[in-house]
């Protein structure tokens, strides 16, 4: 009793009150689980925000590519202006591929679905001339998930159907 008064704790060891000790253990486990869930939520939120930002940039690049293609199709361009538009489109394509091959802080490729240990988009040289002729999607459309509450999981990646755009 003196030790309990000195420490301010009612239970110093489980035998002092086995029922209360069991309850304290359960509460400590619940608190640890809640802290882990909060960490998972924070991580998922940050990751999804980053992915949204990347996809916004890719979308903006696609709009510029569309405008360049429309300009190239108008029939009044010189060879030099067409070459310039082609270089612009090539540069934008390279930046979009780099963005879609983004790796998170753990080194995982975020746009490859559940295949996150290799770049989801790779350049393909179909005719062996050293020039990229097409791109190939190496990922899948599956979602990675994390637990945010007891029995509740949320997707932590944008699993866009990129295979529709890349062979």
Whole-prediction pTM value?
Answer: 0.79
pLDDT of residue 70 exceeding 90: yes
Is the Cβ–Cβ distance between 3 and 11 less than 8 Å? no
How far from the centroid of its chain's Cα atoms is residue 150's Cα?
A: 23
Residue 51 — pLDDT band, cuts 50, 70, 90? very high
pLDDT of residue 27 exceeding 70: yes
Q: Collect all residues with Cβ–Cβ distance below 8 Å to 156 and sequence separation of at least 6.
A: 43, 44, 47, 48, 143, 144, 145, 146
The rounded distance, in Å, linking the Cα atoms of 167 and 159 is 16
- For the stretch 102-120, pLDDT in tens is 999 999 999 999 999 999 9
In our burial notation (b when 16+ CB lie closer than 10 A, e otherwise), range 139-161 reads beeeebebebeeeeeeebbbbbe
Lowest mean pLDDT among 16-20, 36-40, 122-126, 128-132: 16-20
Q: Tell me the three-class secondary structure of the chain, residue by residue.
A: CHHHHHHCCCCCCHHHCHHHHHHHHHHHHHHHHHHHHHHHHHHHHHHHHHHHHHHHHHHHHHHHHHHHHHHHCCCCCCHHHHHHHHHHHHHHHHHHHHHHCCECCCCCECCCCCCCCCCCEEEECCCCCCCCCEEEECCCCCCCEEEEECCEEEECCCCCCHHHCCC
- For the stretch 133-167, pLDDT in tens is 999 999 998 999 999 999 999 999 886 667 666 65
Q: What is the pLDDT of residue 3?
A: 58
All domains of the chain in start order, with CATH: 14-102+111-164 (1.20.1330.10)
Q: What proportion of the chain, given as a percentage, has pLDDT over 70?
A: 87
Q: Collect all residues with Cβ–Cβ distance below 8 Å to 37 and sequence separation of at least 6.
A: 147, 148, 149
Q: What is the pLDDT of residue 6?
A: 56
More confident residue, 35 or 25: 35
């Amino acid at each position: 009793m003196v030790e309990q008064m000195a420490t301010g704790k009612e239970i110093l060891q489980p035998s002092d009150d086995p029922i209360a000790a069991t309850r304290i253990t359960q509460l400590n486990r619940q608190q640890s689980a809640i802290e882990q869930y909060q960490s998972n939520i924070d991580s998922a939120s940050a990751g999804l925000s980053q992915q949204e930002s990347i996809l916004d940039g890719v979308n903006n690049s696609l709009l510029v590519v569309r405008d360049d293609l429309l300009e190239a199709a108008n029939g009044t361009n010189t060879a030099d202006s067409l070459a310039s538009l082609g270089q612009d489109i090539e540069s934008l394509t390279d930046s979009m591929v780099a963005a879609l091959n983004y790796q998170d802080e753990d080194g995982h490729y975020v746009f490859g679905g559940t295949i996150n240990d290799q770049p989801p988009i790779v350049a393909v040289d179909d005719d062996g001339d050293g020039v990229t002729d097409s791109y190939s999607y190496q990922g899948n459309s599956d979602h990675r998930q994390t637990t945010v509450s007891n029995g509740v999981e949320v997707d932590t990646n944008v699993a866009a159907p990129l295979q529709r755009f890349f062979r």
